[in-house]
Amino acid sequence: MAKILLNDNVDGSDIVIEDSLLLKAYTVDSVTNVLYLEEEDGFRKTAKVSETLANVGATSDLLFSTTIADGTTVWLNRERVNDVFEVSSKATIVFDASGSKTENIKTDVTAIAVKAAIISKEGDFAYDIDSFTNGPDTVVLDAGAGDVTSKFTSGVVFTVFGEGDANDSIYSVVSSAFGTETTITVNETPALVQASTGGKVWVQA
């Protein structure tokens, strides 16, 4: 089991927390707070640590960053996200707050952005979609998506998700062309036309 080592904000003493027991990290009065479950009894506890919020998030294999409704940054344990839904382009995260109940965390970003942040923390890749076309059946990615040549070779399977989609759609790569645009020919007619603006492609690392 992975453990993270932090330092107490007052006396600098070591605080060792099991990564899987982290709930979230956030800032109060310029001090980083880490909410977690105690290993022995499962009670919730808050540690005030000297590390910056970003450093705590980077130390953990599970915490991902998002912006909540008041505009501040919070890091959440991706394994405790039960659902993400969206109202008026703002996502609400259904979050396992203590192992016995959930809380709804309202964000200042879209559901797509939350999913992309989780995917990135998992070490996978989320690329922006420019458009879909039919006949040939292709998905066109943002030209600035980075190194995609090794991610979209023939036979690779990837998922498309977009705002308002009831279900993700999974496609298999037939062929790819890399130039001013990344054009991926897929195995079937893309169905989620609404994902042509604001949608993303998720491919495993």
pLDDT (tens digit per residue) in 154-177: 999 988 886 544 456 788 999 998
Q: Give DSSP secondary structure letters for 129-166.
A: EEEEETTTTEEEE-TTS---TTTS-TT-EEEEE-TT-S
Same domain? For 88 and 22 the reply is: yes
Segments of the chain scoring below 70 in pLDDT: 1, 99-100, 143-147, 162-168, 190-198
**The two three-digit tokens of residue 93, written as one number:** 């995260």
Domain boundary among 93, 121, 149: 121
DSSP alpha helices (H): ranges in 71-124? Answer: 111-121
Same domain assignment for residues 130 and 64: no
Return mean pLDDT, the chain: 87
What's residue 166's pLDDT? 46
User: Are 86 and 7 members of one domain?
Assistant: yes
Does 41 share its domain with 136? no
Which residues touch 80 (CB under 8 Å, ≥6 apart)? 23, 95, 96, 97
In terms of residue numbers, what domain contains 70?
A: 3-121
Report which residue type is found at 147.
Answer: D
Residue of 187, 182, 91, 92 whose CA lies nearest to 137 = 187
Distance, C-alpha 86 to centroid of its chain: 15
Q: Give the global pTM.
A: 0.82
Q: What are 67-94's pLDDT values in tens digits?
A: 999 999 999 999 999 999 888 889 999 9
Query: What pLDDT shows up at residue 45?
Result: 93
Residues 6+ apart with CB under 8 A from 40: none
Phi, psi at residue 30, to the nearest 5°? Answer: 70, 10
Shared-domain flag, residues 76 and 141: no
| pLDDT recorded at residue 97 | 83
What pLDDT, on a 0 to 100 scale, did the predictor assign at position 125? 87
Q: Looking at the structure, tell me whether residues 166 and 83 fall in a common domain.
A: no
115: phi then psi, degrees, rounded to nearest 5: -60, -40
